[in-house]
Every structure is written in structure tokens, then in C-alpha cells.
Homo-oligomer: A and B are copies of this chain.
Amino acid sequence: VSHLSSLLLHWLRELKSTHEHRQLIHSIKVGLALVLVSLLYLLDPLFEQVGDNAMWAIMTVVVVFELYAGATLGKGLNRGIGTIVGGALGCSAAILAQNFGKIGKASCIGVSVFIFGAAATYTRMVPRIKKRYDYGALIFILTFNLVVVSGVRADKVIELARDRLSTIGMGFAVCVSTSLLIFPVWASDELHSSTASKFSKLACSIEGGLEEYFKGIEEKEDNQSETSFNACKSVIHSKSTDESLVNFARWEPWHGKFGFKYPWNKYLQIGDSLSVLAASILSLKGCLQSHRQPTPVLTRQSIKKPCEAVVSLLACTLRELGDSIINMKRCSPAVLTEAKLQLSKLELSEAILPYMLRTLPEDDAFAMAGFVFLLMEMVDMVEKLAKEVEE
């Protein structure tokens, strides 16, 4: 035991040093829930009540407990509903089968297993159901089969089903209380902060791209550009993560700053526009890093001022928007008007460019392409602002 505990301590120390506190806490919570549910076996008075069905409680805890509170709740409810529906249908099928002779009974059960199994599997593949009720359908198939098939052997099908359901209920109760009461991890919080952080990520990568461009080729730091490139890509590819977070968040009860009927879909919409914006930043970067750009730093410097003004305002607006999401209040109208001001400023800089076009070779046209895209982004931004205000 002392060896084990020293191992545990060592392990704990290692975890502390990596600062993965959330995952550590989650692991401890799971361990705790498992111990709690094992008490059904370990304590004699409890075991006399539930018997071997305690197994189902353990199974429920292991399978249902997830990192996010919403995921745990959703899976637990799915499991409960699937068990009830599957159990009820299984009981009726088993009772129906009792009326036949030995062979008739077996074939009746076989046919019902086939039909319900195939139908439920088909239902699972409907995208809408797959998204939210996949696990429930799985449990439905499982329970239905177990109940209908043990109907051949056991006479007391209904008691069997009831006992299992009650132990599953116990397991679920242990899960939910551990998950919600001890340092809950809310999917909604995660979604909220990850959406807000995307804004600042994009702001950084716009700035980074432009800064690098004006630094000239000699001082290029590949490392930094790589990270901002990856930041853009992560924003683009975050869609499936966001979708599952929204899914979990829907199951979560009222807590903190989020009320019932909170518009979770707004997050997906914002995420979508952000990914379009990230796509255009990505191609802007590609354009700036192209070997067709004018190499002399002086040529680049000539358009530095208007570019930097626009970019810094873009980044500023993005950050402001991210902050307004974090604080959950509308962003000050100053930001909106500022964006418009900036649009006119851009128009001004456009007026300078044609002059440059006439004096510089066509290489400069590429730098101009950068401008066009910044412009497009501005338009994007204003759209998103409008969405924010709705919130």
C-alpha cells in the first residue's frame, strides 16, 4: 500500500507540474464516482437490496461520465430513455412470445430482434438523430435485446427490467451529482471562451502577417509565421469541436450567466463567419509570402503607413468584439463608428495607390491584392458586428 501511495504522490506531483488541472480534477471525480458506486457491492446492506444488478450501476458510471457536465447529462438521459423504451418494448415482445409453443416462441423472438435491431440501426444513421440521440438508440437496441432474449429463460422479465432500470438510475444519480456538484466543467463556458479567443487569435495573425511583410525577407522568422498560420487553421477547423460543444451545452441546466433558451446557434454562426474570415487571412498570408512580391524593402515601405493603419484598426475591432463576447455586453457604438471611419480612411489610401501603380512596376499589384482582401475582411467584420448586436 505504501508503495502504491508513493506512486500516487509521484503521479500527482507530475501532473501539477504540467498544469493540466482540469483533466486532473476530472480524473479524480471519475475515481470518486466509481468508489461511490462500488459501495453498492462493498456494503452488505446495500448489496442485499440490489444484488448482482449493481453491475449496471457501475457500467452506467463508467460509460456515462464525461468531461463536460452537459455531455454527462445528455448521455445519462439518453441512457435512461433508451432503457425505458427498450425495456418496455422488450417486455411486451417477450410476453407476446409466451403465447406460442417452444419453436414459435424462439422464432418470434428472433424476428423481433431482427426487425427492431435493423430499424433502430437505420434510425441511428439519420443525421438529426445521430447528432443528439445516437447513444439513446444504441442503448435501446441493447436493452430490447437483453430483455426480450432473457424472456425465454427468466419468467420474471418485468422485475428484471425494473431492477436494472433502478440500478441504472442509481449510477446516473452518482454521475450527475459528482459531475455537477464538484468543480463542474461546463461545455457552455468552454464554448464561450473559445469563441472569444478566436477573435484575438485572428487579430494576432493579421498583425503578424503584415509585420513580417514589412520587415523584409532577411529578418523573416519562419517560426512565428508558422504559429500564426496554425492559429488560422485551428479557427477554420474548429467547426466540429464547436458543434459538439453546442450539443453538450444544450443539455446543461441554467447556470452562471447562461439562461434557458440561450441562443447557442449564434455561436455556430459566429464560428462560421470567423472561419470565412480566417480563410481570407490565410490566403492573404499566402499572397504576402509569395515570391512575386517586390523584394526591395523600400518598395514595401512605401505602402506601409496606410496598410498598418488599416490592420491595426482591424485587429483592434476584432479584439473589442472578443471582449464584448466575454463580458456579454454590446460593444460600445464607438467601435462601430470607428469601423466606418476606417472604411473611409481605406478609401483614401486607395486613392494613393493608383498613383503608385503608375510609378511602380506591376509587382506592386500583388501588394494591392493584400489590400483588397483586408477590405473584404472589413466588410465581413461589419456583418459580424451586426450579429453581435443581436445577441
Which residues on A are within 8 Å of B, measured CB to CB?
1, 4, 8, 11, 15, 23-24, 26-28, 30-32, 34-35, 38, 41-43, 47, 54-55, 58-59, 62-63, 67, 106, 108-111, 113-115, 117-119, 121-122, 125, 138, 141-142, 145-146, 149-150, 152-153, 236-237, 239-240, 275-276, 278-280, 282-284, 286-287, 290, 292, 350, 353-354, 357-358, 361-362, 365-366, 368-369, 372-373, 375-376, 379
Q: How far is the CB of A290 from chain B (nearest CB, A)?
A: 6
B residues near A34, Cβ cutoff 8 Å: 113-114, 117, 141, 145
Give A272's nearest chain B residue, CB to CB.
Answer: B233
Give the chain B neighbours of A276 by CB distance below 8 A. Answer: 282, 286
Pull 17 A–B residue pairs with CB atoms less than 8 Å apart, ordered by A: A8-B115, A24-B122, A27-B119, A27-B122, A34-B114, A38-B109, A58-B146, A58-B149, A236-B237, A237-B237, A280-B283, A280-B286, A283-B376, A292-B375, A353-B362, A365-B368, A369-B372
In the complex this chain forms, how many copies of it are found? Answer: 2
Set of chain B residues within 8 Å of A110, measured between Cβ atoms: 35, 38, 42
Residues of B within 8 A of A362 (CB): 350, 353-354, 357
A152 to B31: give the CA distance in the assembly, Å: 19
A153 touches B47 (CB 8 A): yes
Tell me the complex Cα distance, A314–B280, Å: 20
Q: Which B residues touch A30, using CB under 8 A? A: 117-118, 121
**Least CB distance, A160 to chain B, in whole angstroms:** 11
Nearest-Cβ distance from residue A233 to partner chain B, whole angstroms: 8
A278's closest neighbor in chain B, by CB? B279
Let me know if A283 and B115 touch, CB within 8 A: no
Query: Are A27 and B118 in contact, CB atoms less than 8 angstroms apart?
Result: yes
Are A142 and B290 interface neighbours, CB within 8 A? no
Docked CA distance A368–B372 (Å): 10
Of all chain B residues, which has the CB nearest A4? Answer: B115
| Closest residue of B by beta carbon distance from A280 | B283
User: Contact between B366 and A372 (Cβ–Cβ < 8 Å)?
Assistant: yes
Known: A142-B59, A283-B373, A376-B290. A4 touches B35 (CB 8 A): no
Closest to A239 in B: B237
Q: In the complex, what residue of chain B is closest to A372 when comparing beta carbons? A: B369
